[in-house]
Amino acid sequence: MSAIQNVAIVGAGGHIGGAFAKALIQAGNHVVTALSRFDSKSQLPMGANIIKVNYEDGSTS
């Protein structure tokens, strides 16, 4: 069985999601993508790929 390498996290700018994203990035075995609202001012984890989305508009996914 192969290990999960690509991880997308909703809420990576929050307390729990941010800690989870940072831990995965620091482990060095994962590619982390942080999904963030277009208007979010949250600090996102360094090293994550950032994708801005509008959760109310399916065409932004």
Q: Is residue 35 part of a domain?
A: yes
More confident residue, 33 or 60: 33
Instruction: Count the domains in the chain.
Output: 1
Q: Is residue 33 part of a domain?
A: yes
Strand 49-53 to 31-37 pairing: parallel
Listing DSSP states for 1-61 in one string gives -PPP-EEEEETTTSHHHHHHHHHHHHHTS-EEEEEEETT--PPPPTTSEEEEE-TT-GGG-
More confident residue, 11 or 58: 11
Please report which confidence band the pLDDT of residue 1 belongs to, taking 50, 70 and 90 as the band edges.
Answer: low
Note the pLDDT of residue 4. Answer: 87
Please report which confidence band the pLDDT of residue 5 belongs to, taking 50, 70 and 90 as the band edges.
Answer: very high
Kindly report, residue by residue over 12-32, the tens digit of the pLDDT: 999 999 999 999 999 999 999
Q: Is residue 32 part of a domain?
A: yes
> Residues 34-41: what's their mean pLDDT?
90
Q: Which domain holds residue 41?
A: 6-52
